[in-house]
């Protein structure tokens, strides 16, 4: 397709999207020029936030990060570290946003023990010639009775996306032993996962039509699906308990527009799924026995939400992209552009707090208050934790908060290192 044709199609789709999706499209299609260099809710940005890198600056373009906890016999966390999934080759191989130029250079997993230098995790036993482009990942807590934790990683391999299973031991956390590859026609566009046991998980699928489709279809259908926010993504529950059998996939949340991050609340009763293109978080009540989900609330976000993580107190930390075209421009190597970052917490409100901060005043003091973009949803308090025009930290894709220390960690899809903000 000629670039001028592509541009005409994109412009037409954008116009249609603004008309069809109203507020949610305006939030991410119209630029917000007054984003700050960096804003941190708990203190001055430069005094409290800094970017952690490894010595050779290989830990970059990280899409996801999770806490890996070590628990004692009662299940209480006694220690925790961070695991990150990064792919410095993302600009040459990105099955979600493009391009599909070169799948050869492998991405990597990283281990970060707070305060120490990040360490690359060696993938032991990983098949020669098998691609590694990690996206969503999750790891089971390290138990006193179990020598290993199971780690599952979405892998955007050249011939189709897979899920790689590894084991990781607390004594040698910089070595992951490869166990097996889950593959099959069910894995259309896997994005993010959240473990429900050592061998089962919720899994989101961001698109029905992917860039892997041949020719002009792969160039137009996924773009139309994204820009029009068509509800063609979904979430499944995957059971991979039997090591010798194919995993069993059950759809638990159909028809989600660009289903992206997924997270389970600490008490196991709720699941949150990010709908990236509709700019909202879907909260589901969860039946822990059947893994069934039923939609209980939709909370709009002032940006396109990417990954989600509940902190230990039950606040959902949401990172995302406030300006769609900037992320696309960065993915396309355009010079002089930077994708802004925004991280919020969404906390269910107790009855007493209900109604607090109604009206125009909420988020006063935040450079770009969420109140300018989204209405308040009764029962949920949304609060900005971090904001940047991209010059301090760009393209935020995951935010995690340690509920004990209050420390906020952020990774960025096209950014180097790990942002750490300490209150
Ligand atoms: C962007 O640049 C990288 C090299 O830095 C290259 O591999 C990739 O193909 C480029 N992407 C596009 C869309 O041109
Ligand atoms: C991808 O598929 C092609 C054709 O089916 C095959 O030749 C090739 O070995 C596969 N590559 C990988 C990395 O699996």
Domain assignment present for 35: no
Q: Which residues line ligand 2 (CB under 6 A)?
A: 129, 131, 158-159
pLDDT in tens, 344-379: 999 988 655 555 545 556 898 999 999 999 999 999
User: Ligand 1 pocket: which of 61, 87, 96, 99 to mutate (most atoms <8 Å of CB)?
Assistant: 99
Helix H or strand E segment including 3: helix 3-21
Q: DSSP assignment of 356-420, as one string?
A: TT-STTTTTTSSS-GGGT----TTEEEEEEEEE-SSSS-SEEEEEE-TTT--EEEEETT-BSEEE
Domain CATH code at residue 298? 2.120.10.30
Domain assignment present for 415: yes
Total tally of structural domains belonging to the chain: 1
How distant, in Å, are the alpha carbons of 18, 118, 317, 379 from that of 52?
38, 8, 20, 36
Answer whether 99 contacts ligand 1 (Cβ < 6 A).
yes
pLDDT band, residue 27 (cuts 50/70/90): confident
pLDDT in tens, 370-400: 999 999 999 999 999 999 999 999 999 999 9
Kindly identify the ligand whose nearest atom is closest to the C-alpha of 132.
2
Domain assignment present for 319: yes
> E strands, 257-388, where?
259-264, 270-275, 280-286, 293-300, 304-310, 316-321, 341-348, 380-388
Domain assignment present for 414: yes
Domain that holds residue 380: 3-30+41-421
Listed range (135-149, 215-229, 234-248, 271-285) with the worst mean pLDDT: 215-229
Kindly identify the ligand whose nearest atom is closest to the C-alpha of 93.
1
The mean pLDDT of 269-282, rounded to a whole number, is 96
The conformational region for residue 228 under phi > 0 = left, psi -120 to 50 = alpha, else beta, is alpha
pLDDT in tens, 63-102: 999 999 999 999 889 999 999 999 999 999 988 888 999 9
Starting at the edge strand that comes first in sequence, how are the strands of the sheet with 77-86 ordered? Answer: 62-71, 77-86, 108-112, 119-124, 172-182, 162-169, 149-155, 134-139
Q: How far is the CA of 103 from the centre of ligand 2 (A)?
A: 12
Spatial CA neighbour of 94 closest among 111, 107, 108: 107
Tell me, what's the pLDDT at 5? 63
Tell me, what's the pLDDT at 6? 62
Domain assignment present for 402: yes
326, 337 contact by CB (below 8 A): yes
pLDDT in tens, 196-213: 999 999 999 998 888 888
Return the higher-pLDDT residue of 180 and 227: 180
Residue with the smallest CA separation from ligand 2 atom 3 is 159
Judge whether residue 4 has pLDDT over 60.
no
Tell me, what's the pLDDT at 149? 97
pLDDT in tens, 119-157: 999 999 999 999 999 999 999 999 998 989 999 999 999
Residue with the smallest CA separation from ligand 2 atom 10 is 159
d(CA 67, CA 304): 23
Domain assignment present for 294: yes
Domain assignment present for 376: yes
The mean pLDDT of 307-334, rounded to a whole number, is 94
Domain assignment present for 36: no
Residue with the smallest CA separation from ligand 2 atom 4 is 159
């Amino acid at each position: 397709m000629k670039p001028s044709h592509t541009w005409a199609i994109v412009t037409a789709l954008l116009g249609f999207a603004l008309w069809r999706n109203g507020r949610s499209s305006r939030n991410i299609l119209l630029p917000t020029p007054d984003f700050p260099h960096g804003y941190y809710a708990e203190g001055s940005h430069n005094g409290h936030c800094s970017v952690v890198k490894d010595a050779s600056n290989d830990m970059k373009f990280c899409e996801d990060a999770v806490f890996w906890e070590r628990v004692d016999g009662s299940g209480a966390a006694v220690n925790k570290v961070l695991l990150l999934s990064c792919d410095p080759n993302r600009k040459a191989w990105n099955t979600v946003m493009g391009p599909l130029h070169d799948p050869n250079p492998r991405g990597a997993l990283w281990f970060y023990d707070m305060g120490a230098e990040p360490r690359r995790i060696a993938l032991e036993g990983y098949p020669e010639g098998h691609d590694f482009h990690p996206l969503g990942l999750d790891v089971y807590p390290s138990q006193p009775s179990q020598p290993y934790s199971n780690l599952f990683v979405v892998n955007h391999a050249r011939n189709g996306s897979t899920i790689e299973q590894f084991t990781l031991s607390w004594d040698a956390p910089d070595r992951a032993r490869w166990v097996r590859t889950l593959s099959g026609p069910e894995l259309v566009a896997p994005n993010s996962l959240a473990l429900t046991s050592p061998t089962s998980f919720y899994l989101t699928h961001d698109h029905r039509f992917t860039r892997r489709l041949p020719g002009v279809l792969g160039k137009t259908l996924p773009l139309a699906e994204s820009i029009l926010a068509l509800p063609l993504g979904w979430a499944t529950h995957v059971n991979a308990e039997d090591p010798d059998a194919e995993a069993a996939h059950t759809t638990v949340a159909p028809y989600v527009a660009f289903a992206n991050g997924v997270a389970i609340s600490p008490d196991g009763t709720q699941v949150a799924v990010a709908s990236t293109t509709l700019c909202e978080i879907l909260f589901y009540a969860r039946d822990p026995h059947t893994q069934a989900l039923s939609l209980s609330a939709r909370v709009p976000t002032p940006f396109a939400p990417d990954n989600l993580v509940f902190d230990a107190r039950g606040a959902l930390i949401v990172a995302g992209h406030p300006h769609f075209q900037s992320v696309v421009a960065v993915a396309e190597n355009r010079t002089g552009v930077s994708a802004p970052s925004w991280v919020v917490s969404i906390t269910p409100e107790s009855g007493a707090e209900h109604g607090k901060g109604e009206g125009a005043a909420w988020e006063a003091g935040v450079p770009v208050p969420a109140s300018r973009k989204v209405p308040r949803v009764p029962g949920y308090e949304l609060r900005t934790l971090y904001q940047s025009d991209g010059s301090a930290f760009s393209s935020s894709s995951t935010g995690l908060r340690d509920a004990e220390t209050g420390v906020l960690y952020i990774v960025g899809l096209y950014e180097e290192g790990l942002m750490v903000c300490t209150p």
